[in-house]
Structure 1
Amino acid sequence: MSRPLTGVRVVEMAGIGPGPHACMVLADLGADVVRVVRPSQATDHHANEHTLRGRRTIVADLKDPADRDRVLDLVAVADVLVEGFRPRVMERLGLGPDDALARNPRLVYGRMTGWGQDGPYAAMAGHDINYISLTGALHAIGTSEQPVPPLNLVGDYGGGSMLLVTGVLAALVQRGSTGTGQVVDAAMVDGTSLLLAGILELRTDGTWNDERSNNLLDGAAPFYATYRCADGGFMAVGAIEPQFYALLVAGLGLEPASLPDRDDTTRWGQLRSTFAVAFGAQPRAHWESVFDGSDACVTPVLDFDEAVQHPHVVARRSLTRDSAGFVAAGRAPRMRDDESGVVGIGSTESWETVLAAWGGPPH
């Protein structure tokens, strides 16, 4: 069975971070993605670069007018172009939106940056930690003593590549009704802000404050936290709803009447200490067996090598191992009858081969 984006042709201008990740998702969904790399990048990759899976590569010196024209030949028969350079770089190369859409008015031109195509910081360098710091997200994450970056999941991927994929897919739908292309300005600072919608809603309602480790979902609530076990492992607890909380208490072997009111935030410290003593009395494997399959919302905190072996992760193929034995992300979302698993990196091909496959003009 073909995947949803089968037949969609994507030109990916090679970059790092969210751009390649977005193109990985598009390729996983069936798009034919051709990655354009600089000559210096032609052999600069490793077999375990999972975000490069599922697409072919061609080499181009974008400062060479002949290679630039070849890229435009490819753009002329493409559906999508994805680039992650700083603002105005593609324009200076003669490959900006106006140049590309002049060759192909149906093209969806996806742009991935940290700060966006305009604004005071548009031309400034940055990384995930900077984009999430400026939006308030980083301030809300961490201990009471200091903010802690949540890897680079929030800015680069949640607010970056996922927002770009959403914009590209929306533009393809729009093109289906209008017949014309679109320019997608995806910025990590915007995407991070979008991800904060629910937290900002709680803040507006007065149920969230700006003091870290003092809210329901930031580790302050004793029923939404992690606990160390006797062997040094950890269990994650997310028993927010009363019925799930009751199952947590029962699984820990505690008497409900002896516990503080869970809604009394002034006694959260006391309740946390009680839970910590209970979890600390047994190794993680014990608590895994107690709560396995339970609606208590209690699960082990696994490292990557453990996670790839967990029965549910194995069944869903959420994580798997590639041919070299490295842990890799599976495809998501899954479609009916869709095959899953890790796909290898495609080969480097000639311009003539790719243009012929896409029905483009010979150069």
Structure 2
Amino acid sequence: MPLKGIKVLEFVGLAPGPLCGKILTDFGATVTRIDKILDNPLDVLQQGKSTISVDLKNPKGQQLVLRLANKCDVLIEPFRPGVMEKLNLGPNELRKQNPRLIYARLTGFGQHGRLAPRAGHDINYVAISGVLSMLGRRQEKVTAPINLLADFAGGSVMCALGICLALLERHNSGRGQVVDASMVEGAAYVASWLFMSRNLNIWGQERGDNILDGGSYFYDTYETKDGLYISVGALEPQFFELLKQRLELPEDLCQFGEEHQDRGKRLLTEVFLSKTQSEWSKIFEDVDACVYPVLDYREVHKHDHNKERESFELLEGVTAPRPAPLLSRTPGKLPKKSDKQHNLIEELELKPQELKDLLDSGVLTLPEKAKL
């Protein structure tokens, strides 16, 4: 696996940090989580990682983390700026002893700037990024994309990319560096095309009135007879003509022009309600009209295309996406609960009495199966 041999220390926070660690785990890295508790019910992304609990306010706990960091290639921390410095675990302290360490800091607003110390969530970061202003239907309030855009796309994935870039650069320089992963900047960067395409003729209208944001009837979703949905993305003229043919729409219905949009939306709404999602899927099965079913997340692994590519696995009874992208020689792999987890504590070669003192004092807590 591409990250085999890379050791990661992940300080557990909310979902962005754990997904970043999961990406590294799925592609072969060894990840040790430091959490306040061993069994955190809120972290559903811990498969393949080992977990220890350390009292970070105790100087002995801080020294233990320092020793762990000396054994690692990467550290991920999700706290507000200054928190790790107060614990004597900031990048300056840790990289003095391990100059090869890549210290990834994953926060909402970044490590400096007026808002850096402030609290926030995905909806706030997407708002400050400017991207939220582009999302939503006409004459409706802007719509937050759950917490996908800032937490995960702009946060987790961009932070993992930064770590991989720093690892690649370290191959040449031999030195680590600090990765400042701001979810605001990450969300904006993911939306680069949206920012940089504003002069194209697909835009120019208010939010919700453009081709791609709900203003066009040939690029939208429609309810079917059974209460499910179909996605329509017939942007190009040739796709639109096939759409008209399969839906038996009037010949005089045009693709573009404001005067055709309300009529087109009404016609497509009515016609899609006449059949079930399965029936429509069969009608469009063999034609490139860019019409596909909106699959339910609980059933997505049963779709024939996804089954053929093995795009999803059932992991402890839950549908889990396979690691992406797919590499031809060294693909990622979803860890199973039964997979042996690496215990980073073993590498510290603590003396038996030293380990006993750490455990007895509560500075360190290990899972039962990991105790030496």
CA contact (8 A) 2:28 2:332 kept: no
> Do residues 96 (structure 1) and 90 (structure 2) align?
yes
State how 1:1-363 maps to structure 2 within 5 Å: 3-38=1-36, 41-45=37-41, 49-144=43-138, 145-205=140-200, 207-209=202-204, 211-255=206-250, 257-260=251-254, 262-323=255-316, 325-337=317-329, 338=331, 340-341=333-334, 343-344=336-337, 352-356=345-349
CA distance in 2, matches of 1:354, 1:329: 32
Question: Cα 1:105–1:339, aligned 2, differ >3 Å: closer, same or farther?
Answer: closer
CA distance in 2, matches of 1:157, 1:60: 26
Q: How many residues align?
A: 351
TM-score, normalised to structure 1, is: 0.90
CA distance in 1, matches of 2:3, 2:104: 16
Question: Cα 1:254–1:354, aligned 2, differ >3 Å: closer, same or farther?
Answer: farther
Greater shift in the superposed pair: 285-294 or 102-111: 285-294
CA distance in 2, matches of 1:332, 1:354: 31
CA distance in 1, matches of 2:343, 2:48: 17
CA contact (8 A) 1:329 1:342 kept: no
Q: Deviations over 1:142-188 (max 9, x none)?
A: 22211111111011011111110111111111111111111000001
CA distance in 2, matches of 1:293, 1:68: 62
> Which residue of structure 1 lines up, in the alignment, with residue 367 of structure 2?
none
CA distance in 1, matches of 2:296, 2:210: 26
Amino acid at match of 1:288: S
SS at match of 2:157: helix
Greater shift in the superposed pair: 208-217 or 334-343: 334-343
CA contact (8 A) 1:53 1:345 kept: no
The structural deviation recorded for 1:204 is 3.3
Q: Which runs of 5+ in 2 are unaligned?
A: 359-372
Q: Deviations over 1:20-48 (max 9, x none)?
A: 1000000001001111122xx123337xx
CA distance in 2, matches of 1:231, 1:352: 55
SS at match of 1:213: coil
Q: Deviations over 1:313-338 (max 9, x none)?
A: 22333332223x22223222222253
CA distance in 2, matches of 1:60, 1:245: 60
Amino acid at match of 1:54: G
SS at match of 1:34: strand
SS at match of 1:236: strand
CA contact (8 A) 1:328 1:342 kept: no
| % same residue | 37
CA distance in 2, matches of 1:342, 1:296: 38
SS at match of 2:199: helix
CA contact (8 A) 1:14 1:37 kept: yes
CA contact (8 A) 2:26 2:335 kept: no
Question: Cα 1:114–1:347, aligned 2, differ >3 Å: closer, same or farther?
Answer: farther
Question: Cα 1:50–1:247, aligned 2, differ >3 Å: closer, same or farther?
Answer: farther
Question: Cα 1:344–1:180, aligned 2, differ >3 Å: closer, same or farther?
Answer: same
> What RMSD over aligned residues (CA atoms) do the two structures have, in Å?
2.3
